[in-house]
Each structure stands twice: as structure tokens, then as C-alpha cells.
Copies of this chain bind each other. A is one copy, B any other.
Amino acid sequence: MKRIGMLTSGGDCQALNAAMRGVVKTLYNSGEEVEIFGFLEGYKGLIYSNFRMLTGKDFSGILTKGGTILGSSRTPFKTIEEPDENGVDKVEAMVHNYHKLGLDCMVILGGNGTHKTANLLRTKGLNVVTLPKTIDNDLWGTDMTFGFQSAVDIATNVIDCIHTTADSHRRVFIVEVMGHKAGWLTLNAGMASGADIILIPEIPYDIDKVVDAINKRNKSGSGFTIIAVAEGAISKEDAALSKKEYKKKLKKRTVPSVSYEVAAAITKKTGMEVRVTVPGHMQRGGSPCPYDRVFASRLGSEAGKLILNNEYGFMVGYKNREVVKVPLEDVAGKLKNVDPNATIVQEAKLLGICFGD
């Protein structure tokens, strides 16, 4: 008999439920007797021993359902090691609850911050298996994270809609795409929707290059320009600042995000009307796309297999079209970013896309 804890942490995304279903179905179908403890609202659930016992019924019909049946919360890693407002040591509490409930392992689904904490729990002796969840696709050790392709689909659809109205009105349109400090989502949604300009954190932009590209389009008679701006995009000047100076500058920013800065600069330099669209959290929601459903189910199934083999301390990832296990200590604290010289970026440039560099 195996007693398995499970939690989802950090910003939610599509296919979390599909992944958990994959783990649990694999365990059930193995013939092994299992008990599933579902901790609620991320690490909080483990810290305060807030859980529900889950059965097969809980996992029925959730393959296509967005969000997470366990709820989630952001518990930044830096706060994990601090005591809570009642003086409770959070890490100690998690270790304590794990042992008190007689758990054999924890299945933890999350992104970058989540993996740091998962690795910490591993060093404290807990058996941990993790699954790479994030629309940002910025997790080290895996070619792909689930949620990513679903978010690409949504962001692409937003830009597709904007396309018809941009075409009719000869304006500049900016669509702000999520992705944290990585450009994967913006790069893919931008290429998929035929954006003319793509600004990503990994390639700081020169606003004059952006304006040149707009003017070139206007001269060629296209009349409108669509810009996909990553929420983490940054100008060359800002990229040259020290971290401290940049933070200081951000604090003084009166507009909600970088997209509005870009918009203002374009209007100032061209006199053109610029409209900003911010689909925001929409990009994390809705039913996972078929790609993510298959992908998350597969990873979940492999996590189930690891548990059956008592192999712990791994993230289940995906490398060169093979499901792989990656040691948690290798994953924690590392990010995977777009290489400015990657083939895909070169191809995008050959397709005529301007990156502002």
C-alpha cells in the first residue's frame, strides 16, 4: 500500500488536472493499493495539513478541465524559510505532516519557484516527484512544460482577432503576452499569428528599430502593424541598468506595464494611434489544448511509474521527444530562456519579423 500526497503550487495553468489524473490512473491500474491525499492550495495545504482524501471519482472527467481541483497559491520560495505570522516554521511543519500522515511520497506540480521548495523538501528527506507545469516554458531540464501550448493557442487567437480589426483601421496594435521573464510564449504566439514585431526579454529592444519597422510597413502600404510584447520585454537602456537602478525605475513607472511604455514611445515618434490589449490571466485558463492533454497525461503516467519503482527526487521532463527523469537538484533555481541566436529566432527573422535588435 502506498500513501501519496499531491499538491499544485504557483500560478495555475491548463492540464494540471490532466497530469494528476495521469498519475492516479497509472497507480490505480497498476494493481497497487494506493491512498491519495490531496493537499489544498499549494504548499499551504501541506504546511497546515489541509487535505482531502481523493478517490477515482475525483479524477473522472477532469482531463479536459482547466484549473486545478486542488486549488493553488503562490508561496514564494523566499518566504518558505521564514516562519509564518504565528511563528510556525513552514518547512518543519511540512516535514512533520508528511511523516505524521505516513506518506510514501509527494507528487508536486509547479513551475520554477515550486521546484526550489520541492528540492528543499527532498534535502529534508521527503520522497518527491515533480511535474513541470507552467505556461512560461521556462523550466530548466525539459524541452516543454504543460500549459505552454494551451497558452500559445489562446494568445495566438487573441492576436488573430486583433488582426482583422488592425487591418481595417490602419493602426498599431500591441498585444501583451504573458511568460514572466522568458520569451517562449510571445515568440511562438507571435510567429503563429503573423505578428510583425516581437519583443522578448532575451532580446532587449531599441525603440528606434521598432519605429523603423513600423515606418517600413507604412511605406510598403501595409498600413497597420501588430506587435507582440512579452510582459517581461525590456529596452536596451533598461537592460543596461543595474538591477537596483532598474527596480527603482520600475517603481516610478506610471503606466501598468511595458506595453504602455512601448505604445507611448511609438506614438511620440510616429504620431500613430497605438492600441494595447492585455489578455492577462485568460492565457492560463480554459480547457487544455489536445497537445497538452496528451503531454500532461504522459508525464503523469511516467510519474506514476517512478512511484511504483520507488524512484524519487526527480522531475519528469521531456527531452528530444523522450520522457526523461531529471534530478531535482539540477532543476531547482535554473531558468530556461530563449537563446537570441537560436535557429527559431533566425527563422523568425528570415520570415521578416523584427525583434527590435
A contact set with B: CB distance below 8 Å: 8, 11-12, 14, 16, 22, 25-26, 28-30, 41, 63-68, 71-73, 143, 149, 152-154, 156-158, 160-165, 167-170, 173, 188-189, 191-194, 254, 256, 275-286, 289-291, 293-294, 297-298, 301-302, 304-305, 320-323, 343-344, 347, 349-352
Contacts and interface: CB of A to CB of B under 8 A. Distances in A.
B278 A280 contact: yes
A256 B256 CA distance: 8
A164 B294 contact: no
A280 B280 CA distance: 11
The A interface, classified by DSSP as helix, strand, loop or mixed, is helix
Given A161-B282, A279-B158, A291-B149, A169 B352 contact: no
B286 A160 contact: yes
Contact of A321 (B25, B143, B153, B285): B143
Contact of A194 (B28, B64, B350): B64
A14 B285 CA distance: 22
Given A29-B350, A160-B64, A279 B277 contact: yes
A167 B298 contact: no
A298 to B, nearest CB: 5
B165 A281 contact: yes
A245 to B, nearest CB: 25
Given A280-B277, A286-B164, A294 B192 contact: yes
